[in-house]
C-alpha cells in the first residue's frame, strides 16, 4: 500500500525522503514522488512511474530544500502513471500526499470544478490539495485549512500537506490510515510507518484517529478529533536500524524464512513456565478475562486468517472451548450474533489491515467480553484499540509474502489456547506436554530448514506448471491453504487447497500428470485417512509431492516424491510443516524470475478496503 514520508529540517531533506521511501518499498507500490520547498513560494516536485530508484535517478543533482514530503503510491483511483503519482498540487504552491481512500471525492471534485479548479489527475487525493488551497484563500492558516478540509472528507486518510507560502511547517491529519511523527533535534519528521524514519530518529509520537497536527523544526502541536489540544506521549522504538536490510540473503523473504527459529524463540521467551503458560503474556487483565471465556470468535485476513483456522482446531480439541473463525471483510458487513462470554480475537501482522481494524471497531459494540489482538506491531492501531494483546515479536517483516509473522502467530495462538485451557480444566499432563512441545519448536525449525537443497531441486518440477493442488487434513488443512497462497502470490501459479477428504466430491476430476499434488503428512491421528486420499490420487495418474514424517512410511517412486521432515509433536506440526511450503514457493518463484519480495499487484499492509 501507499507510503508517506515527510521532513522539516535545517538541512536538505530530499535524501532523507528517498531513504524513507526505500524503507517503505516492501509495502508494495507502483509509482513514487516527492516535493520540496527550495525557498518560500518555490515548490519543486518530481514523480516517476515505477521504483523509488527511478525517482532517485531522475534527481539531477540534489534537490535543495529543508521542508519536503514524499510518497509511494499503490493505485486505487486512476491507473498507475506519473500524472496520478503523489504529491498532488494546487496552484503550483501547495502539495499533498495521502494514504487511503476519499469515498466522497466525486462530489467534492464536482463542487471544486464549479469553483474553477482544474484537475490534472484521476486520483481521489487531488481534491484534498484543492480543498486546502480553497480554504487558505478565505484567510485560514494552513492548520485551520487542513482541519476544515478533514471535516468534509469521508473515508480513510492519512495526509500530509505542505504549503510553499508557509515553508516552516507541515500539517498532517489522520483518520483511518496510520501516521507517526518522528522527533529529531531541531528537525522533525512524519511517516506512515516508523520504519521509514529509523535512520533519523527513534522517538515517535503515534497519532490517534481524528488527530490533526502541525509540525515545525522544533515543535509539534496536536489537536484531537474534537479540536482540543492534546499531548501524545513520545515512545522510543526498539526496532533495529538494520531491520530493513537483507542480512546477506538474496531476498527479504528468504531471510525471513531463516529468521523463524529465532523469531519463535523470541515469541516464546518469558511466556512459558515449566508446566503452564503465563496469562500475563496477553496483558495484566488477561487472567480475569480468560476465566470467563466460553466462546472465541477469531477475525483476520489472508495468511493471518489461516493461523486463525489452525487455532480453531487447537481451541476446541485442547481447551474444550468453541471457536468460530471468519474473514474480516465478510465479518464486518454481517450482523453477527455474539454468544455470551465471547472473546473476540483479531490476528494481523501489521495491525493496520483495514478490514480487520474495521471488524474490531464494529465488534466493539456487539457485547464481547473483551477484544484481544495477536499482532507483530506494538504501536499499531489494532493493538492500541484492543483490550488485550499478544505481541508475536517476529521482528520487522518486509517481504510481502508473510512467513515468520505466520509461524509466530501460530505460537501466540498455541499459548492462547493453553492459557484458556488452564482456566477450563485442561489435563495438567497434557498442558505440561504442550509446553514442552512448544519449547522444542525452534530446534525442529532449524532442522527442517536443512531440507532447503532438496526442496530447491523439487521446485524445478513445478516451474512449468499452471496449477497445483495442496492437500491436508485436520489442522494441516489451513497449512495447505497457506502453502497454496504462498505459491500463488510469489510464483503466480494458480494453486488451490483442499481438505483431502473432499477430493472425491469434485476436485478428483482435475487430476492428471500436469497437476502436481502437494500433500502434508505429519504423523498424526489422520495419517491413515490421508494415505487413502493419496491412493485415490495415484490411482488416477496424479504426481504427488509428499512432505511427511520420517515414520509415516511414504516411499519415493516414479509418481511420488517424498521429503521426510523431523519428528515433531503432532500439535506443533502446523508450525513445522509450514516451512517446506514457504521454501517450495520461494524456489519456484526464483526459477520463474518473479519479484519475490514485491509480487505484482500486492501490498504488504492492506490499509484500504
Annotated catalytic residues are 2, 604
DSSP-derived pairing of the beta strands 544-549 and 342-348: unpaired
160 and 190 Cβ atoms separated by less than 8 Å:
yes
Strands 42-49 and 235-236: unpaired
Query: How does 96-130 read in b/e, with b if 16+ C-beta sit within 10 Å?
Result: bbbbbbbeebeebbeebeeeebeeebebbbbbbbb
350 in Cβ contact with 178 (< 8 Å): no
Phi (first) and psi of residue 85, to 5 degrees:
-70, 150
Q: For ligand AGP, which residue has the nearest CB?
A: 302
In Å, how far from its chain's centre is CA 232?
25
Q: Output 319 or 400, the one with its CB closest to ligand AGP.
A: 400
In whole angstroms, what is the distance from residue 355 CA to residue 358 CA? 5
> What is the nearest approach in angstroms of ligand AGP to the Cβ of residue 596?
12
Q: H or E element: which one contains 91?
A: none
Q: How many CB atoms lie within 10 A of CB 229?
A: 8
Element (H, E) at 87: none
Q: Given the rule CB under 6 A, which residues bind ligand AGP?
A: 301-304, 348-350, 353, 356, 400-402, 489, 605-606
400 or 445: whose CB is closer to ligand AGP? 400
Of 125 and 346, which has the nearer Cβ to ligand AGP?
346
- Residue 534 neighbours by CB distance under 10 Å: 21
Tell me which residue of 585, 578, 520 sits closest to 552, measured CA to CA. Answer: 520
Work out the number of other CB atoms within 10 angstroms of the CB of residue 183: 17
Is the CB of 188 or the CB of 303 nearer to ligand AGP? 303
Smallest distance, ligand AGP to C-beta of residue 6, A: 24
How far CA 526 is from CA of 183, 348, 354, 448, in Å, comes to: 55, 30, 37, 22
| 345: nearest Cα among 322, 327, 321, 372 | 372
Nearest approach, Cβ of residue 349 and ligand AGP (Å): 4
Question: Which CB, 25 or 549, lies closer to ligand AGP?
Answer: 25
* 160 vs 301, beta carbon nearer ligand AGP: 301
* Number of Cβ within a 10 Å radius of residue 85: 29
Q: Which is nearer to ligand AGP, 74 or 117 (CB)?
A: 74
Shortest distance (Å) from residue 345 CB to ligand AGP: 13
Grid cell, residue 299, equals: 477475525
Amino acid at each position: 500500500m501507499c507510503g508517506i514520508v515527510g521532513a522539516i529540517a535545517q538541512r536538505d531533506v530530499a535524501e532523507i525522503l528517498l531513504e524513507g521511501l526505500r524503507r517503505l518499498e516492501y509495502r508494495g507500490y507502483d509509482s513514487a514522488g516527492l516535493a520540496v520547498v527550495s525557498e518560500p513560494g518555490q515548490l519543486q516536485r518530481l514523480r516517476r512511474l515505477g521504483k523509488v530508484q527511478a525517482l532517485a535517478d531522475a534527481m539531477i543533482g540534489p534537490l535543495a530544500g529543508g521542508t519536503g514530503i514524499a510518497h509511494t503510491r499503490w493505485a486505487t483511483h486512476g491507473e498507475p502513471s506519473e500524472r496520478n503519482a503523489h504529491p498532488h498540487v494546487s496552484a503550483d504552491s501547495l502539495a499533498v500526499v495521502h494514504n487511503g481512500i476519499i469515498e466522497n471525492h466525486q462530489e467534492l471534485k464536482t463542487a471544486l470544478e464549479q469553483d474553477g479548479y482544474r484537475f490534472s489527475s484521476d486520483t481521489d487525493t487531488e481534491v484534498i490539495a484543492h480543498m486546502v488551497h480553497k480554504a487558505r484563500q478565505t484567510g485560514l492558516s494552513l492548520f485551520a485549512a487542513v482541519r476544515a478540509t478533514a471535516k468534509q472528507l469521508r473515508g480513510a486518510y492519512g495526509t500530509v500537506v505542505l504549503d510553499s507560502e508557509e515553508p516552516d511547517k507541515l500539517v498532517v491529519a489522520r483518520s483511518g490510515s496510520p501516521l507517526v511523527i518522528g522527533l529529531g533535534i531541531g528537525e522533525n519528521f512524519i511517516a506512515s510507518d516508523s520504519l521509514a524514519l529509523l535512520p533519523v530518529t527513534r522517538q515517535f509520537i503515534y497519532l490517534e484517529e481524528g488527530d490533526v497536527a502541525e509540525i515545525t523544526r522544533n515543535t509539534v502541536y496536536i489537536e484531537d478529533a474534537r479540536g482540543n489540544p492534546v499531548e501524545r506521549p513520545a515512545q522510543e522504538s526498539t526496532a533495529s536500524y538494520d531491520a530493513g536490510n537483507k542480512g546477506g540473503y538474496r531476498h527479504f523473504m528468504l531471510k525471513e524464512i531463516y529468521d523463524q527459529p529465532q523469531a519463535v524463540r523470541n515469541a516464546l521467551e518469558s511466556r512459558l513456565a515449566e508446566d503452564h503458560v503465563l496469562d500475563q503474556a496477553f496483558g495484566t487483565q488477561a487472567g480475569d478475562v480468560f476465566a470467563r471465556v466460553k466462546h472465541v470468535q477469531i477475525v483476520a485476513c489472508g495468511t493471518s486468517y489461516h493461523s486463525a483456522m489452525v487455532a480453531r482446531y487447537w481451541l476446541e480439541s485442547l481447551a474444550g472451548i468453541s471457536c468460530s473463525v471468519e474473514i474480516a471483510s465478510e465479518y464486518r458487513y454481517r450482523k453477527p450474533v455474539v454468544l455470551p462470554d465471547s472473546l473476540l480475537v483479531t490476528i494481523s501482522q501489521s495491525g493496520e489491515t483495514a478490514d480487520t481494524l474495521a471488524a474490531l471497531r464494529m465488534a466493539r459494540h456487539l457485547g464481547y467480553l473483551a477484544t484481544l489482538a495477536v499482532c507483530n506491531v506494538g504501536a499499531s492501531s489494532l493493538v492500541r484499540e484492543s483490550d488485550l494483546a499478544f505481541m508475536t515479536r517476529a521482528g520487522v517483516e518486509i517481504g510481502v509474502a508473510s512467513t515468520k509473522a505466520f509461524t509466530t502467530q501460530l505460537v501466540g495462538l498455541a499459548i492462547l489456547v493453553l492459557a484458556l485451557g488452564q482456566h477450563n480444566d485442561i489435563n495438567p499432563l497434557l498442558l505440561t506436554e504442550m509446553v514442552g512441545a512448544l519449547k522444542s519448536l525452534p530446534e525442529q525449525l532449524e532442522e527442517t530448514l536443512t531440507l532447503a537443497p532438496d526442496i530447491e531441486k523439487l521446485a524445478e518440477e513445478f516451474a512449468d506448471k499452471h496449477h497445483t493442488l495442496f492437500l491436508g487434513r485436520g489442522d494441516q488443512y489451513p497449512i495447505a491453504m497457506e502453502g497454496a497462497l504462498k505459491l500463488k502470490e510469489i510464483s503466480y501459479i494458480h494453486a488451490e487447497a483442499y481438505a483431502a477428504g473432499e477430493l472425491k466430491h469434485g476436485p478428483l476430476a482435475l487430476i492428471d500428470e500436469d497437476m502436481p499434488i502437494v500433500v502434508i503428512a505429519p504423523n498424526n491421528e489422520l495419517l491413515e485417512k490421508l494415505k487413502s486420499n493419496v491412493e485415490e490420487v495415484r490411482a488416477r495418474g496424479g504426481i504427488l509431492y509428499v512432505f511427511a514424517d520420517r515414520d509415516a512410511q511414504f516411499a519415493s517412486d516414479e509418481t511420488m516424491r517424498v521429503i521426510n521432515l523431523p519428528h515433531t509433536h503432532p500439535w506443533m506440526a502446523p508450525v513445522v510443516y509450514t516451512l517446506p511450503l514457504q521454501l517450495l514457493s520461494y524456489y519456484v518463484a526464483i526459477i520463474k524470475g518473479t519479484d519475490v519480495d514485491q509480487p505484482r499487484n500486492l501490498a504488504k499492509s492492506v490499509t484500504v478496503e
